Structure 1
Amino acid sequence: MRRCTAALAAAILLLTPAAAQAAPQRQTYTNPVSASFADTFADPMVVRGDDGFWYAYGTTDPLREGEKVFHRIPTARSADLVSWTYVGDAFAEGQRPAFAAENAAFWAPDVRRIGDSAAKAASPHCKSQPQCWVMYVTVTETTGGPGRSAIGAATAPTPTGPWTFSDEPVVAPRPSGDGGWLWTFDPALLTTPDGRSYLYYGSYFGGIWVSELSADGLRVTGTATRVAIDNKFEGAYVVRRDGWYYLFASSANCCAGPTTGYSVSAGRSRDPRGPFTDRDGLRLDVSRAGGTPVVAPNGNKWVGTGHNGLITDLAGQDWLAYHAIDRADPYLDEPFGINERPMLLDRLDWIGGWPTVRAGAWASERPVAKPVTRTPLQDSFDTLSPRQWRVAEGKWAAVNGRLRGSGTLLARSPQRGDLRAEADLRGPAGLTIGSTTVRISGNSLAVGSRRTPLPAGFDATAWHHLVVDVRAGRLTATLDDTTVASGRTGGHGGRTVVGVTAATTAEVDNVSVGPPAEPVRRAAAVPEPGRMLAAYSDEFTGSALNPAWTFVRPDPAATVGGGALRWPVQNADLTGTSNSAGVLLRQAPRGSWIAETKLTLDLGEDSVRNFQQAGLIAYAGDDQFARLSAVAIWNTRQVEFGYEIPYAGTTSYGGTIVGTPGLTTAWLRLAHRVDEVNGEHEYRAGVSRDGRTWTWGGVWTLPADSNPRIGLIAHGGAEPAVTASFDYLRFRRW
């Protein structure tokens, strides 16, 4: 057994629940939330522990600039989700599962509380415990040869360990069929209302897959299903909401320094095995894969906004924990090397059935309202306060920091209006809301006299989490994020008495009651085109290019006729030192505007045609541009917003994925504005498949002292021969 490190033990002693409750409550916070203990904390996962604290886990990296020491799943602890303290590493140096190679690293942990007896029996630390924690983690190298990644599992009795690896992988290395090995990365657990557990895993080489898990959660069973296409998605995270399963997945390069375009998009399905489709009905597992944007670079300091977890505060507001890169400080030890990816936390809103960070404003860099982690009625039962509670029936006492007893315990202060109540329960216990009791009763969740069956094998002797929301007299109860029941309740004159109830002796902890969050229902504004700027636009109605155009590296194959510019895709490029492609440019208007083109480009389907593309460009030079194009990236067809800038004596190139091109046609937009504070040129990318419905993606910036022109490109590869056709380039005020 591995003992807790000295640092971990000291932190646990210092961070007692009493100390947490005594700490002052800040009303705002500023990203990154990991700054107090780490310069980088990639692939974050956040859970709430049995002790009422929140715990965050990150990928294996040094924590501080210049440190050079790799922390094997660093762990941090917080009482309010925004002030974090490092409490140690999950694994000691040299600790690894039997199947891991000596040089294995551990990436992208996924940590969950489990209560099933079969799962607990699988761990020597959990057999006699009322709760157990499991960590699924990427093991980058396994025995038998290089490149053979796998998903491993470790279990522990507490969120801080001690963690013990299972000797066999949950998902073993998977051959690709061509002599290589699929990337078996980024695990994420989902438990469905019927009690089944599923694990999502995979990355760009192979795509994202889902497999059902064995009863103990330590083996995949049955046939795996691919839910997201390869070469576009990784970093899966799945949640159930309103009968839908939402797959969050990250796209683009995670680690391109100041040009990292990593971002998160989502699809949903009624079945945990998919198919997942986006807001426009596009599947995520096909060549022209969809994906509704959740967060992407927005033009402020943060780029590379991706690889998320999800946490819900005590008011019921969801929050996205994810990493990002400060474009002014992109590497842990400059220049180059490990990308510095601290943890950010931002509000996650659900608008029209779809998730988006801060209503579509995306990553915050200035102070914003913090999560609700303190409520008017809140108790972790270090003692049983007669000023806060009265025993209405039975006998109750605080024992070892938990409430123990049977009968009914009522709060002395009624709650006004709508409310949200939460509690951790062990045994036949529940919450009383006004005249309605919600509790675990045998193999069901009872709301008054109504009963909702619990999953087969439900273990009432383990700890479970109950949430009860009351809005306008309508009650919704959720147990362990899976079992949902509903009913009616009532108070007296708008005042509701809340209490704890148990049919026989049970334990209760971490009770909180307070007003529920008011959901955000209106999305942030997106660019809308205004009046036409005819002097800057071109309908290509003549037989030659308008003199307003300038050609960098002229291509005589580009011709105008029949109301279109036709340009055979060149075997050339602009990235790195190549700088061989032609760029057709014209002067942009001043101020805020939207440039649009209609592009016809037949890139086929599924086949590899790297990296044929065509589209719009904001061009300040061969090494300083933002390029929006429909592009073939291996077997996929995507709309990429690429970005290149000079950096540290060379160039840095990255891209963010905006959306999906049509079968042969895509409408592309660049919306430009000048930042009022720093004078930078900001360009936001948009794409449409029909010219009417638009998806708006990320933002790239060009320097204030530059004079970017706007134009068209068609390059990336000559085979097979294909011609890009542009119907127009139109500018409109924004």
Structure 2
Amino acid sequence: MAGLPRGAVALALAFLLAFPSVAAAHSLANVSVAGPRTYHNPVSVPVADTFADPAVLRGKDGLWYAYGTSDPLRPGERVRHGIPVLRSADLVRWEYVTDVFTPANRPGWAAPGAGLWAPDIRYADGRYLLYFTVTDTTAHPGQDAAIGVATAPTPAGPWTDSGGPLVAPRPTAGGGFEWTYDPAMLTDAGGRRWLYFGSYVGGLHVVPLSADGLRVTGDPVRIAAADRYEASYVVRHEGWYFLFASAANCCAGPATGYSVFAGRSASPTGPFLDRAGRSLLDSRVGGTPVVQPNGNRWAGTGHNAVVTDAAGQDWLLYHAIPRDEPYLDEPYGINRRPMLLDRLDWIDGWPVVRGGAGASTGEQPAPVTTGVLDDRFERGELGPDWRTPAPGWSVIPAADPDSGGLLRHTGAGPDELRATRRVPAGAHVDLDVRLAANASAGIAVNSRSSDARVSVTLDETTAALVTDVTVHGGHQVRRTPLPAGFRYGTWHTLTVESTGSRLTATVTDARLGDPVARQERALPWWPGERGLAVLASGGAEVDNVSAAPAAVPARDLAPVPETGVLDPSFSDDFQGRMSPLWTWVRPDAAVTVGPGGLRWPTQAADLVGSGNDASVLLREAPCGDYVVETELGLDLGVGTVRNFEQAGLIAYVGDDDFARLSHVAIWNTRQLEFGRELPYAGRTTFGGMALTAPATTTWLRLAHHVDRRSGEHRFRAGASRDGRHWEWGGSWTFPSDTTPRIGLVAHGGDTPPATAVFRYFHVYRD
């Protein structure tokens, strides 16, 4: 076997441009194995009309498993599940499997009425680890949340709690407890394990874990400011650690502005910075949007997991709230938060859902979950995808309670099991391997003439990830060391992908974006199709061999609003006086207009809730699409509590029906908040969505668009720190039978109040 180093797991890739999907060998009771070509959100329906805070992984049986917060799954059920588990063959069609916890195995340290929230699922060292939030422990009455961990031999259980909190309740200096919520585990590039957790009260933190993931071994490090983020999730991409975190209220029904942001760092402990270099620890807190409500059916798009399909395309699984049916049962009860699935693109190095288009409605291209070669080895013999005889190889059906059937090599080797299918140049290849001492297993790719060969190897003998490019008998070998303590005798996934002339190889526990070894190298070019072969020597086991077309990454961002031409008839430069076309709701005599613009001390008043004592300065809005812009000077300082002092733009139908884009103090942070209050079911509800970080001078925009089908008014928020480079956030909508006006606000004033300076009010139209 020329070109294969001793003890090597050979895994290789050629770049597939296109070939059809074939059926997988494993099936579910209600789900066919051939993945659909399209899908519609939400994917958890009809099994689960609400499935909040989803955590997802692919089990070693080749199926996908999702874990959610402990709510009822369907209207009228009214029984909270003990972390429900769903299963799917294709990420699109799901079935209910079980609950993680029942009265028989519920953690004894959880108070009787405690919620079990926000799970995170991982595979490590031959077992599954489930991290979860307990909202109240028996140690202290009340909301003293903690993080627990349970283990299981399979994704469906049975689950065994560790017996106590992994991260115990954390008292605050002033009484009460920090919010110890939303765990997420990461294995870093060196094989060390970390746990991320936290929420608005206390901020986000990370702590080191023991090698088995069951103990905290160091002090927490804060990675994001309090009062901004929760729901951490970290992946490693192109050498960076990317922190995904959700912002704003998760559960305000139709006014939920929950959104996902990202920051990145060279270290798993931060500091995490956004695209503009702003820290997520700053008082003027940074963050680059990943997905925000876009004005369609979905509000509250947040709390995510990231998975990779068989083509190498990343996908975001997250929950969202349907605006037209926001509650599971009665209004203001449990929020209806089904699980959504959308493509996650990496554009200019940053993650964004569907190129910035946000949550999808309507028919979408489905994930690739089966390939031109796709074998789970559930049959009792080799199928037609493999050439026989194959000395040294056996298919062992039902060999493992976790993986099911598998391919076992029992000869001295090295031996080769050739695929009957040839593939064109280019593919994404995955392979699960489990090795005995001095064993190897994997896939090789050869040119038609056999004078060129590429292999990627996991070599137990040299403890390295090895690539070997062989051309005309000459070898070019490169080794990347694997972490100390790497357990070859448990399942690991080897993934190789080539894009053009670049080969990327990774080793992960379960393809969750946290490789413990990664190698890139240039590939030689040779024409024609490739041959695939599984390789092994010694006692090796192989499962879930897949070769699928490599996904073509998206390169372009979705369009953002354009300003058009300034319309002076709706604009005001505040040159010594206000236009007489302005009207007041509750006039404020403190407002002055002079050199530099309109000056407005923040009022000790507000619009949110039933008080409605804040002033609003309004203009009639033009018909059709337009963009309104202002330059706002507002110095709220940093790091102090000035709740909820703010100023900015407003789209206003009434005191209980408005959208407000403002620079606001939220406890110690300074944020740009796009808030929405609206009437629903006889009451009003308010929620906000966050934007980029503000400055002492911030430019604000509201882009108005009328939806041609529904007639709804859609307002999208944008902001800039220099007046030239704009960052666009999410959208709020108003019903078609309303006529929103546009204007300015400055309220929530502290003592003494800050003074907002609006230097102009411009309206742009096509």
Normalising by structure 1, we get a TM-score of: 0.94
**Correspondent of 1:432 among 422, 430, 444:** 444
Report deviation, 1:22: 5.1
CA displacement 1:75-110 (0-9 Å, x = unmatched)? 000011000000110111253324322222211110
| Correspondence for 2:713 among 678, 681, 684 | 681
Aligned to 2:273: 277
1:44 to 46, 49, 54: 54
In structure 1, the residue matched to 2:384 is 387
Q: Of the candidates 673, 691, 695, which is equivalent to residue 723 of structure 2? A: 691
1:430 Cα offset (Å):
2.1
- Cα offset for 1:168? 2.5
Task: Work out the CA distance in 1 between the residues paired with 2:27 and 2:299.
Answer: 38
1:331-353 Cα distance to aligned partner (Å, 9 max, x none)? 11121111110000000001011
Matching residue of 2:223: 227
SS of equivalent to 1:390: coil
> Is 103-112 or 87-96 further displaced after alignment?
87-96
1:651 aligns with 2:684: yes
Instruction: Supply the AA of the counterpart residue of 2:464.
Output: S
Deviation at 1:151, TM superposition (A): 0.6
Q: Residue 218 of structure 2: SS of its match in structure 1?
A: strand
Aligned equivalent of 1:32, options 42, 55, 80: 42
Closer/same/farther in 2, CA of residues 517 and 151 from structure 1, 3 Å limit:
same
Classify 1:601/1:487 alpha carbon distance in 2 versus 1 (closer, same or farther; 3 Å): closer
Q: Does 1:460 align with 2:488?
A: yes
Distance 1:479 1:183 in 2: 34
Query: Residues 101 and 578 of structure 1: is their aligned pair in 2 closer, same or farther, counting only changes over 3 Å?
Result: same
| Cα deviations by residue, 1:415-438 (Å, 9 ceiling, x for unpaired) | 102111101100122221221222
The amino acid of 2:465's aligned partner reads L
Q: Secondary structure at the residue paired with 1:356?
A: strand
TM superposition shift of 1:275: 0.3
Alignment partners' CA distance in 2, 1:386 and 1:18: 16
Aligned equivalent of 2:625:
592
Residue-by-residue CA offset, 1:339-388 (whole Å, 9 max, x unaligned):
11000000000101110000000000111110001211111112343631
What's the secondary structure of 1:17's corresponding residue? Answer: coil
CA separation in 2, counterparts of 1:134 and 1:308? 18
**Cα separation, partners in 2 of 1:345 and 1:373, compared to 1, 3 Å:** same
Number of paired residues? 703
How far apart in 2 are the matches of 1:101 and 1:195?
A: 35
- Structure 1's unaligned 5+ residue stretches are 1-14, 116-130
Is this contact kept in 2: 1:169–1:219, CA < 8 A?
no
Q: Kindly state the Cα deviation for residue 397 of structure 1 after the two structures are TM-superposed.
A: 1.4
Query: For residue 423 of structure 1, what is the aligned residue in structure 2?
Result: 431
Structure 1 position 178 matched with structure 2 position 174 = yes
CA RMSD in angstroms, aligned pairs only: 1.5
Unpaired segments ≥5 residues, structure 2 = 1-23, 398-404, 447-452, 469-476, 509-514
Output the CA distance in 1 between the equivalents of 2:335 and 2:738. 27
Task: Give the deviation of 1:491 after TM superposition.
Answer: 7.6
Q: What amino acid does structure 1 have at the position aligned with 2:456? A: V
User: Pairwise mapping of residues 506-525 of structure 1 onto structure 2 (< 5 A)?
Assistant: 506-525=540-559
Residues in 2 aligned to 1:581 and 1:388: alpha-carbon distance in whole angstroms: 72
Contact 2:172 2:178 (8 Å CA) reproduced: yes
Residue equivalent to 2:408: 404
CA contact (8 A) 1:491 1:497 kept: no
Read off the aligned partner of 1:274 and give its amino acid letter: G
Supply the AA of the counterpart residue of 1:446.
V
Name the stretch that deviates more: 359-368 or 22-31: 22-31
Q: Whole-Å Cα distance in 2 between the matches of residues 415 and 621 of structure 1? A: 62
1:119 maps to which residue?
Answer: none
Which amino acid in the other structure matches residue 255 of structure 1? C
State the partner residue of 1:7.
Answer: none
SS of the counterpart of 1:258? helix
- Contact residue 415 and residue 514 of structure 1 kept, 8 A: no
In 2, Cα distance between equivalents of 1:377 and 1:24? 13
Which of 54, 74, 82 is matched with 1:64 structurally? 74
Find 1:82's aligned residue among 67, 83, 92. 92
Q: Which amino acid aligns with 2:395?
A: A
Show CA shifts across 1:698-734 (max 9, x none): 1001111111110000001232321111000001125
Does the 8 Å contact 1:553/1:583 carry over to 2? yes
Q: Match of 1:447, as an amino acid?
A: T
Matched ranges for 1:445-594 at <5 A: 445-448=465-468, 449-480=477-508, 481-489=515-523, 493-542=527-576, 544-594=577-627
- Given candidates 332, 340, 347, the residue that maps to 2:343 is 347
Instruction: Say if 2:138 is the partner of 1:143.
Output: yes
Q: 2:201 aligns with which of 198, 205, 220?
A: 205
Cα distance, 1:392 vs structure 2: 8.5
Instruction: Tell me the CA shift for residue 205 of structure 1.
Output: 0.3
* Post-superposition offset of 1:16: 8.2
How far 1:393 sits from its partner (Å)? 7.0
1:484–1:293 CA distance, 2 compared to 1 (3 A): same
The question of whether the paired residues in 2 share the 8 Å contact of 1:351 and 1:523 is answered with yes
Give me the TM-score of the superposition, normalised by structure 2: 0.90
Deviation at 1:502, TM superposition (A): 1.4
Amino acid at match of 1:545: M
Query: Is the CA contact (8 Å cut-off) linking 1:111 and 1:134 kept in structure 2?
Result: yes
Return the offset for 1:221.
Answer: 1.4
- Using the alignment, how far apart are the partners of 2:225 and 2:176 within structure 1? 18
Measure the CA separation in 2 of the matches of 1:137 and 1:591: 48
Q: Within 5 Å, give how 1:581-730 maps onto structure 2.
A: 581-662=614-695, 664-730=696-762
Give, in whole Å, the separation in 2 of the partners of 1:251 and 1:25.
33
CA distance in 2, matches of 1:521, 1:88: 40
Q: What is the aligned counterpart of 1:134 among 129, 134, 137?
A: 129
8 A Cα contact 1:490 1:496, kept in partner: no
Kindly provide the CA deviation profile for residues 98-143 of structure 1, in whole angstroms up to 9, marking residues without a partner as x.
Answer: 432222221111011111xxxxxxxxxxxxxxx2000000111112
Question: Is the deviation greater in 140-149 or in 51-60?
Answer: 140-149
Secondary structure of the 1:169 match is coil
Task: Tell me the alpha carbon deviations over residues 4-41 of structure 1, each in whole angstroms, 9 at most, x when there is no partner.
Answer: xxxxxxxxxxx981458954542111100001211100
Query: Partners in 2 of 1:321 and 1:201 — Cα distance?
Result: 19
Q: Which residue of 2 aligns with 1:10?
A: none
Q: Residues of 2 paired with 1:386 and 1:148: CA distance?
A: 55
Alignment-derived partner of residue 108 in structure 1: 118
Q: Which residue of 2 aligns with 1:357?
A: 353
C-alpha distance 22-338 of structure 1, shift in aligned 2 (>3 A) = closer
Query: Post-superposition shift, 1:148?
Result: 1.3
Aligned match of 1:324? 320
Equivalent-residue separation in structure 2 for 1:423 and 1:392 (angstroms): 22
**Deviation larger for 279-288 or 403-412:** 403-412
Is residue 28–residue 88 contact of structure 2 (8 Å, CA) maintained in 1? no
| Alpha-carbon distance between aligned partners in 2 of 1:505 and 1:61, rounded to the nearest angstrom | 45
Q: Does 1:17 align with 2:17?
A: no
Higher-RCO chain (CA-CA 8 Å, sequence separation at least 6): 2
Contact 1:323 1:342 in 2 (8 A): yes
- Secondary structure of the structure 2 residue equivalent to 1:161: coil
Shift of 1:282: 0.4
1:389 aligned partner, one-letter code:
W
Q: Deviations over 1:382-415 (max 9, x none)?
A: 2343631126874111112111115221212211
Shift of 1:473: 4.1
Bigger CA drift: 577-586 or 423-432? 423-432
CA distance in 2, matches of 1:205, 1:174: 11
SS at match of 1:220: coil
> Quick check: 166-175 or 518-527, which moved more?
166-175
